[in-house]
Each structure stands twice: as C-alpha cells, then as structure tokens.
A and B are shown apart, each in its own frame.
Chain A
C-alpha cells in the first residue's frame, strides 16, 4: 500500500516535472521558432549599432592650389535627456556659455519630451537623443567634457544615496556626447563668393536618427555638388554602456569615399586684384552694381570673376537677391560694345572695308520711322572711325549694309542667344530674336546694341574671340578634379566653339579696336603705359519697363585686351547706373587700366617693345636695398 502510494507520488512528480519541462520546451519553441525573427531583431538592436560615416566634402582650390573652400572637422554636441534627471538648470548653467547659447535656449532641450507617434503611442524623444549645438570646435568640446566631468549638482557627494551617485556618474560620463561633423569654411571670406557659391546643411533621417550633410546652394558648390559630396560609408558594430565602440565586435566597416577636390582656373591673386579695384570703383561711382571678369582669351580660362555687392559665404545670411552673380544671371542691352559684332561681320563678309566712309548725318538719322542718335554729331566717318568714335548711326548703316540674315548669323556665331556653358548654375541665354520677329528698325538698332539682351560673360567671350584670331572659346572655370592626394581624376581642356571670323578679318578688327584707347577714341583712360590695348566702350541707356528708355540710367562698360598683338588677358568691366559720369570709357576705362596693369605685373606679361618708355629702366635687382625698395617710379 505504502509502495503504491510512493509510486503514485513519484509518478505524479515525474509527470509534473515532465509537464514543467514540456511547458518550458513549448515556450522555447515558441520563442525560438515562432517569434525568432522578432526577438532576434530585438537582441541585435540591443547590441549592434550602425554608424554612418560621413565622407569629407572636397575642397575648392584656385589654379595655384590655394584653398578657396574647405571643410574642417567639428562636433555636434548632443544630450541624452533621460540621464540628466532633474539637473536641467545646473547643466544649462554649466554648458550654455561653452555652447554659445543662452541658458533659456538650452534649458528646454534638456527635458525628455513626450509625444504621440503616428500610431497614437506615447513616445519619448528620439532614442534619448537631442542635438544641442552644431559646429562646436574641438577646443570647445574639450572644455565641455571638462565641465561635465567636474559637474556637481550642489549636494555633498558623500551624502548622496547609492542610486543618486550612480545617476550622477552617468550624467557626468554619458549625458552629453559628441558626434563627428564637418563645417564648410571659406578662408578668403568674400573672395570669389559668387563663383564659389555657398553651402547649407541638408537634414534627413536614417534609422530614425537625424543625419545632416553639407550640400551646395549656389555657385560651384551647387554645380559640382555631387562631385564634392563623396559617398558615405558605414560601420556595423557594438557599443558598451558608455557608448564606446567594442572593436572586437565590429561587423561591417565600409570606409566613406571622400569628395573630389575641384581645381578652378580662378587665380586668387587676380581675383583679389579685381575685387579691390572694383571696390574702389564702387566707392567712387556708387553704381547699383559693378561686375568684372578677367579671362585668358586663348584658352577661355576665367582667371577672376566678381560682382559687387557680394557676400561672405561663411555667413550665408548675407546672401540677398542683390548679391546674385550678375555676370551670368542678368541680361542687359550691351550698347556700343555690340558694334564689334556688326563691324567684324561686315568686314568678314566683305560688305565693307576699313576705309569705306559713311555719312553719320550729324547725329540724327531717320530710319524706318525712328530717329537714331549719336552721342555727338559726326559727319563722314570711316569704318574704323565708327568704332573709334563709337557712332551709332555709322554702325546702323553698316548693319543695314550687312543685312538682317547676316547680322543675325554673326550675332549667333559670336555666342549670343545661347548659354556659354560656364559650369555655374543660373546662367541665362540672353535674348536674340530670330529675324522673322524683327521690326523694320531692328537691323539698324541691333548694331548699336539695342534690341538684344546679353549677359556680361557672353559679351566678354565675343570680345575674347577677336583676341583669339576669331575663334570663340567655351569659358573654362574648372581646370581639373583631384582626389585628396592631389592625383588628377579628370582634366578639362580648352574647347573651341567655332571660328566666327577669319584671321585676316580678326587682325583688321584688332587694329580698329586699338584706336578706341587712342586720344581720339572713346576710352583714352583705358590706355596702358607699357602695353597696347584694344577694346570697346559701351554706354547703354537702361530700358524702362513701362516702355522706351530712361534718360538718366545707364549701363556703362569697357571690354578690352592686352597686349593687343599677343593677347594674354581680356577684361570686362560693367557698371549698372554709375554716378559721377556715365560714359563707359570715362568710368570703366580707368578701372580696366588699373586692373590690367596690376594683372600684367602679377602675370609678368612682357611689355610691348615699341611702347617702352624712354626713361632708363630701374632694375628690380637694384631695388633690393630697403632704401630703394619702398620707392616706386
């Protein structure tokens, strides 16, 4: 009986144990089989972390390797509000000056924010993560670390409970942490601002965490954004409780591919020369804007390009519509500089000769129901004289002789009505209507630079074609792309677009353009002491949106190149509504001269032999003595 009872008890116990094990086995199967994926993911999320490794944005360099834009490593300081507990006031007080924020601004960020997600669930702020400040330097971060390491809530540490001491330890060690970041800087400030453009920060979410990356907003930064940006890498790894990586548990490690460096054709020194001279002219003539371009006509390389007013790309808040890159985004009626198109076209077609004479009607010429005017009365002028004196009526008569179709053809071939292809965003094509849309007076108006709208760059490229044996070049702004070690990844070569006029015509035109800076011409102030200059002035009345033209608002310009017989540099200066004079030769000619002489000195352009002064030259070698060095002739 007793044995039976014992057997029963053993059996019951065995069954109970078996049932428990069966239950456990069932639970195991349930967890390991049926909920395997879900739980495996949870386990992985607890241990594994995936970090995005941002690529370094490429630099922008000038032709000599000077840094124009670069990225420097900085920190984004973040906080885990759940570790701050009730110490928001003290933490805000300790960190606000170091983060260059006010305590009032910092304080609310240190709280755990509770909100409802899209499914209506209550959630705390994202993964115990809040950004406090971006672009914190390494030095400042070290100060923050020190401040947090010495952080004291006020109470005596020894009197704190064990839990409070642990909370304080976590607050000191982990509540404030950095994330690597980079900041775009432009070491030269506003130098070449419109060419470089500026950048901003693009935010997006990756696995629920906000990620920021630098992105171009204008200029080369925007045009070559994909080249400069690079490709992000990633690292899948595990971290310990202090958020330190456990390298042994590193799983995937794909290095980022840094952005390429962009080497421009811009020369920082010439850019500086251009901008300082433009700034002086801006002060003297107070125009609404002034633009300048310096270009090598043989290759189309842009050595400098500036628009004033400009901005500092380090502070994008200074960017306004007024600071846009007017060289390529604005169109204007070119005025007399456009005469080079009609005269070179007519010479090329054989429609006129340099010695042909035209009656300039003493300044008043009625044509197709309109009266054309000259800035002063002229009688008979040769073709050359028409350019020298910049006679509108003479140019109109040459245009009539050339014919509508030919005039349109040459204007198109010189690059008007189409984008030049400079690698900058926002370039417009200008306005060159097809002949079928012309009025009767167009054939007389267009030669004097009315009825067409051009960009400053188009006009310069047309002049540069005359400085390059009649070959129109594509403007070059990017010389090559390099990797971080300076190895060229891609090189860009000068590109010829087309030959617009023959070499013989071109030589004639250069001869004509030389007379513009003579005492009889419209721009004697543009003549250089040691170089022969060829160029053309322009003074265009501004079009009135209500119809007709303003009497007192002008676009003044001078475009020229030197040495005329072996052109090294072509320069365009354009002022919008200058004061203290408005003739292109008067206001822009001297600015051209100043820039040209400084460029010639910097580029070491050999002077024209027949213009060398009679004074015995003082060699630089003799000036090495400090007494001599400070003197200039």
Chain B
C-alpha cells in the first residue's frame, strides 16, 4: 500500500509540475505579448505626439493655427504672498476648553 501510494503520489506530483510549468509558460508568453503590445502603443503615441507630426497635421487640416504673439498674451502679475492668517481654534478644542474646569 505504501509503495503504491508513494508511486501514485510521485506520478501526481510530476503531473502537477508539468501542468504548472505549462501554465507558467503560457503566462510568460501572455506577458511578453502584452509588453510588446504596450511598446508598440508607446511608439504610436510618440508618433502622434511628435512636433513634426503635429505640425504636419495642422498644415494638412489647414486650421490656420499660429503661435500667439507676445502682444496677444496678457501676463497677470503674481499676487503678493498673503500674510499668514491667524490659525482658527478648532471647534472641538474650543468646546473642550469651554467645558474644561477652571483652574485657579
């Protein structure tokens, strides 16, 4: 019985190893496909965002876009740094203080 049980266990173990190794292989392949796909999309995105491509598209679509001239840009002065406000006392703390026993 022991020998038979060990034999079956051994076969089951080998079978599991084979099954899991197949799974690992499938997942590695899947990961590789996803990584490769991601690379391609990244390059495609880079193509679409490239200044050369954008400039070409603007010309093709004849949108009449032109860079803003300096005189067209209104620059708002940065507001001066406001003085730090007095930190309001938190309500809970204030309530506790109100309800706290007075000490001499």
Contact = CB atoms under 8 A, between A and B. Distances in A.
A145 to B, nearest CB: 14
Interface stretch (B45-53, B79-87, B92-100): B45-53
A629 interface: yes
A269 B51 contact: yes
Contact of A613 (B17, B39, B71): B71
B50 A191 contact: yes
B67 A598 contact: yes
A598 B66 CA distance: 10
Given A187-B50, A188-B52, A70 B42 contact: yes
Nearest to B16: A248
Contacts of A630: 63-65
B72 A618 contact: yes
A632 interface: yes
Interface in A595-615: 598, 600-602, 604, 606-607, 612-613, 615
Interface string A268-298: 1101100010000000000000000000000
Interface string A55-99: 000000000001100111100000000000000000000000000
B36 A619 contact: no
Given A245-B25, A272-B52, A272-B55, A617 B73 contact: yes
B43 A72 contact: yes
Contacts of A272: 51-52, 55
Given A70-B43, A247-B25, A615 B71 contact: yes
A185 interface: yes
A73 B50 contact: no
A405 interface: no
Contacts of A607: 70-71
A247 B21 contact: yes
Contacts of A612: 71
Nearest to A189: B52
Nearest to B26: A247
Nearest to B74: A619
B61 to A, nearest CB: 12
Contacts of B74: 617, 619-621
Tell me what chain B mostly uses at the interface: helix, strand, loop, or mixed: helix
A102 interface: no
Contact of B72 (A185, A276, A606, A633): A633
B39 A623 contact: no
A530 B64 contact: no
Contacts, number: 101
Interface in A341-375: none
A633 B52 CA distance: 25
B71 A618 contact: yes
Nearest to B68: A620
A617 B18 CA distance: 75
A488 interface: no
A623 B21 contact: no
A138 interface: yes
Contacts of B35: 73
A464 B102 CA distance: 71
Given A70-B43, A247-B24, A619 B50 contact: no
Contacts of B70: 529-531, 600-601, 607
A187 B36 contact: no
Contacts of B20: 248
A117 B69 CA distance: 73
A620 B51 contact: no
A246 interface: yes
A583 to B, nearest CB: 28
Interface in B4-42: 17-18, 20-22, 24-25, 28, 35-36, 39-40, 42
B75 interface: yes
B21 A268 contact: no
Contacts of B25: 244-245, 247
Contacts of B17: 248
Given A245-B25, A248-B18, A187 B43 contact: yes
Interface in A22-42: none
Nearest to B50: A188
Nearest to A137: B40
A620 B72 contact: yes
A34 B66 CA distance: 84
B78 to A, nearest CB: 12
Nearest to A601: B67
The residue among B22, B50, B51, B67 with the most chain A CB atoms within 10 A of its own CB is B51
A629 B66 CA distance: 9
B52 A619 contact: no
Given A66-B46, A66-B50, A246 B21 contact: yes
A245 B24 CA distance: 11
Nearest to B14: A248
Nearest to A56: B39
Interface string A246-260: 111010000000000
A271 B42 CA distance: 21
Interface string A172-210: 000000000000010111010000000000000000000
Contacts of A269: 51
A185 B50 contact: no
Interface in A89-121: none
A601 B43 contact: no
Contacts of B65: 629-630
Contact of A73 (B36, B47, B68, B69): B36
Contacts of A632: 66, 69
A623 B72 contact: yes
25 contacts: A67-B43, A70-B39, A70-B43, A72-B39, A72-B43, A73-B39, A73-B40, A185-B43, A187-B43, A187-B47, A187-B50, A188-B52, A191-B51, A244-B25, A247-B25, A248-B21, A250-B21, A529-B70, A601-B69, A617-B72, A617-B73, A630-B64, A633-B69, A633-B71, A633-B72
A-B interface, 8 closest residue pairs, ranked by CB to CB distance from nearest: A630-B64, A247-B21, A67-B46, A248-B21, A272-B51, A601-B67, A530-B70, A607-B70
Given A67-B46, A191-B50, 9 more contacts: A67-B43, A67-B50, A272-B51, A617-B73, A617-B74, A618-B71, A619-B72, A619-B73, A629-B65
